[in-house]
């Protein structure tokens, strides 16, 4: 995310807060009590709604939440023995009475959902000394039942996980033992055929597989900005019983491979799918959120590879056949890859229920598409955008803008609005803005240095959105930060990197440019664009209008004195909604889990966490009691409090 965010320092103490709020009709309360509920998949359902059909907790009683239990995994580290650092971004699942979670080390724990007591643990044996480009991250596991197997058979229930060392793992849900009939003793090597890595962790998996029938479908996270002949972004489906590959989708058109081909015959450096996918079982569709081809800021050589880049791609889940694709960014030069799981819901319009998909983006825009065709359900306009000032870049003349909903973050930035606490602070930011190339959103990178706003960290990031199907409301957390990108002649790369330790400087080997990217900060360590820097936003999907927008987070844990001013801070993680009319979210850079009123955006409760809550929570009813659970382990690159906890909140017994 933003390594520079840890420098948000003492100047934050001088800043007040401002509330932005609009209202929607009230959400009717749902009677409490009833049968136990599960959270069966990363997004609760295969379509990633992140909505729970449980309503024991309501705006009337949520203030009574307290810690019910805490489980510690032990999996956190930093420093020389753990060069990549950890980010506990996982969302547990609850299946058949057991809670399953993966840790940043790709270990898996099975917990009692009422007490947090450990039932079993799987140790993957990850080499934590390697420099994994995406930190040590595991966002979740998935579950599959073999209905053809007899009750009590080994591995009738399987827990599946992709790993940082590029393996697909299948475990017995009852015992945690690897499934011996899956690949080689429960593991499939995903490096086979994708092209050699330059270091362990250049190719990895950080998101859970998608389950479609008896297939586990996986993408990959390929390190950005390194070279034109990086490993392939191929998407593959594996038989959940045997681990045999059943199909592969190469996200490059036939005949296109400017960086060459891998031993598997797939194009190198093609768009990868690092975020979770979504599945529509009824229509036999799997939806891929694709990244841009690598390297990020070297478009001239990538021609042809862009076809499926920064897009939502729909495949026939059983065969891998392309059904449709919709591109959210053309010739992506900003690392605006599609960062989150597509979210499926039924859009109610004029008495009709339309199979819809909403995709959040780093630009803070929501694209609403018909699941069967990819056609926009709100108009999308192609608008002219700034063009390159330096040779060697290929820039699209237009970019797609949805007419509705409006952007969830600003797209305009005036140097006169440069932010600072003191006069010299804001003046320095203004000078930075005026020294850089800026013509609005989609300003291309340049040798002079260009402003990226919003930046590559979002808008919206991997936490995605939640949708309340009854209220037809989508909730998204977004952040608003200005970044600088400067292109460098390749011969300057080594000197620039040596002179600027800790700054992101990438070689983009084989292209015409190296690249330097950093958050624009004042001398006091504050973002140069004005706050709020983090928001929680609710959108009426029938009208395509914003219902309310509320600052997310305080400076409580990023300022030297713990004063909880509600400024709106950077955030990573996502929201969930419930039938009780609540939104739960951690994500912000202070150590809290919060509950908001879905109808008004009012913050109703916050619970203190032992570490940063940069994860998406989940909720379930068990034993007649509703629990809300979140991973609280912090995020090393964002500089939040490290830890190893899974924390459950509930009303007093």
284: left (phi over 0), alpha (psi -120 to 50) or beta: left
The shares of helix, strand and coil residues in the chain, as percent rounded to the nearest 5, are 5, 35, 60
Q: Which residue has the tokens 């809300």?
A: 628
Sequence length of the chain is 653
By DSSP bridging, strand 136-137 and strand 86-87 are parallel
CB 536 within 8 A of CB 575: yes
Distance, in Å, from the CA atom of 48 to the CA atom of 542, rounded to the nearest integer, reads 19
Distance CA(452)–CA(92), nearest Å, equals 34
- Residues 7 and 316: their CA atoms lie apart, in Å, by 46
Distance CA(525)–CA(56), nearest Å, equals: 43
**Is-contact 307 256, C-beta < 8 A?**
yes
Asked if 241 and 158 count as a contact pair (C-beta separation under 8 A), the reply is no
**Token reading at 559:** 């300022």
| Six token digits for residue 620 | 């379930």
Burial of 254 (0-12, 13-18, 19+ CB in 10 A): exposed
Distances (CA, A) of 641 to 88, 572, 590, 610: 11, 13, 9, 8
Task: State residue 434 phi and psi, 5-degree precision.
Answer: -70, -20
State residue 260 phi and psi, 5-degree precision.
95, 180
Q: Does residue 131 sit in helix, strand or coil?
A: coil
Question: Do 241 and 146 touch, CB atoms closer than 8 A?
Answer: yes
**Secondary structure tally for the chain: helices H, strands E:** 2, 42
> By CB neighbour count within 10 A (0-12 exposed, 13-18 middle, 19+ buried), where does 201 fall?
buried
CA distances (Å), origin 67, targets 213, 362, 613, 619 = 37, 34, 14, 14
Contact yes or no for 298/511 (Cβ under 8 A): yes
Give the max Cα distance, the chain.
73
Round the CA-based radius of gyration of the chain to a whole number and report it. 23
DSSP, res 164: T
CB contact at 8 A, 477 and 571? yes
Answer yes or no: 127 catalytic.
Answer: no
**Do the beta carbons of residue 499 and residue 404 sit within 8 Å?**
no
The DSSP symbol for 26 reads P
Q: What does the block give as tokens for 315?
A: 């495949």
DSSP assignment letter at 208: P
- Looking at residue 491, the DSSP 8-state letter turns out to be G
Distance CA 453, CA 459 (A): 9
**Apex 130 CA angle, 125 and 131, nearest 5:** 140
Question: Among 45, 56, 229, 335, which one carries the catalytic annotation?
Answer: 335
Tell me if residue 353 falls in helix, strand or coil: strand
* Torsion sign, CA atoms 417, 419, 420, 426: negative
- CB-CB contact of 433 with 543 (8 Å): no
Catalytic sites, residue numbers:
335
């Amino acid at each position: 995310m933003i390594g520079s965010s840890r420098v948000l320092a003492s100047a934050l103490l001088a800043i007040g807060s401002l509330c932005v709020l609009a209202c929607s009709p009230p959400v009717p309360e749902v009677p409490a009590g009833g049968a136990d509920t599960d959270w069966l998949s990363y997004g609760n359902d295969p379509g990633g709604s992140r909505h729970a059909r449980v309503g024991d907790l309501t705006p009337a009683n949520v203030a009574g939440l307290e810690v019910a239990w805490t489980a510690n995994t032990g999996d956190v580290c930093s420093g020389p023995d753990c060069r990549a650092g950890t980010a506990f971004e996982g969302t547990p699942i609850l299946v058949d009475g057991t809670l399953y979670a993966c840790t940043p080390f790709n270990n898996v724990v099975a917990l009692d959902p009422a007490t947090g007591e450990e039932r079993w643990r799987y140790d993957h044996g990850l080499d934590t000394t390697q420099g994994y480009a995406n930190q040590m991250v595991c966002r979740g596991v998935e579950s599959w039942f073999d209905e053809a197997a007899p009750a009590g058979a080994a591995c009738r229930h399987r827990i599946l996980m992709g790993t940082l060392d590029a393996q697909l793992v299948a475990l017995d849900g009852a015992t945690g033992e690897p499934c011996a009939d899956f690949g080689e003793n429960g593991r499939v090597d995903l490096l086979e055929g994708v092209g050699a890595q330059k270091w362990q962790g250049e190719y990895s998996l950080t998101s859970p597989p998608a389950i479609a029938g008896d297939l586990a479908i996986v993408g990959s996270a390929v390190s950005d900005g390194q070279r034109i002949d990086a490993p392939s972004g191929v998407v593959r489906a594996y038989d959940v019983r045997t681990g045999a590959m059943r199909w592969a989708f190469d996200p490059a058109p036939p005949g296109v491979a400017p960086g060459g081909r891998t031993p598997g015959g797939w194009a190198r450096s093609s768009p990868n799918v690092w975020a979770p996918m979504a599945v529509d079982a009824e229509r036999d569709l799997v939806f891929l959120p694709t990244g841009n081809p690598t390297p990020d800021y070297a478009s001239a050589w990538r021609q042809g590879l862009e076809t499926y880049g920064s897009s939502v791609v729909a495949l026939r889940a059983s065969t891998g056949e392309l059904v449709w694709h919709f591109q959210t960014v053309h010739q992506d030069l900003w690392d605006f890859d599609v960062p989150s799981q597509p979210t499926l819901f039924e859009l109610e319009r004029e008495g009709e229920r339309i199979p819809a998909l909403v995709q959040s983006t780093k630009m803070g825009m929501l694209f609403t598409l018909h699941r069967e065709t990819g056609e926009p359900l709100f108009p999308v306009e192609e608008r002219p955008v700034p063009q390159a000032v330096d040779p060697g870049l290929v820039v699209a003349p237009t970019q797609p803008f949805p007419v509705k909903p409006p952007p969830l973050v600003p797209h305009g930035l005036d140097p006169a609005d440069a932010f600072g606490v003191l006069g010299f602070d804001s003046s320095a930011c203004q000078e930075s803005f005026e020294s850089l190339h800026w013509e609005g959103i989609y300003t291309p990178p340049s040798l002079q240095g260009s402003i990226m706003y919003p930046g590559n960290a979002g808008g919206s990031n991997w936490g995605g959105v939640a949708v309340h199907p009854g209220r037809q409301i989508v909730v998204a957390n977004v952040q608003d930060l200005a970044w600088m990108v400067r292109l460098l002649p390749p011969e300057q790369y080594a000197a620039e990197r040596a002179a600027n330790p800790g700054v992101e400087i990438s070689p983009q080997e084989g292209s015409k440019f190296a690249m330097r990217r950093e958050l624009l900060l004042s001398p006091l360590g504050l973002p140069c664009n004005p706050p709020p820097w983090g928001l929680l936003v609710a959108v009426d999907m029938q009208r395509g209008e914003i219902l309310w927008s509320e600052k997310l987070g305080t400076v409580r844990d990023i300022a030297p004195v713990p004063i909880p001013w509600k400024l709106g801070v950077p955030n990573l993680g996502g929201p969930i909604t419930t039938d009780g009319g609540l939104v739960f979210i951690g994500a912000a850079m202070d150590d809290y889990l919060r509950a908001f009123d879905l109808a008004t955006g009012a913050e109703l409760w916050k619970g203190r966490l032992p570490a940063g809550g940069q994860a998406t929570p989940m909720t379930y009813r068990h034993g007649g009691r509703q629990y809300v659970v979140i991973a609280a382990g912090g995020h090393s690159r964002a500089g939040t409090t490290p830890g190893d906890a899974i924390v459950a909140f509930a009303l007093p017994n």
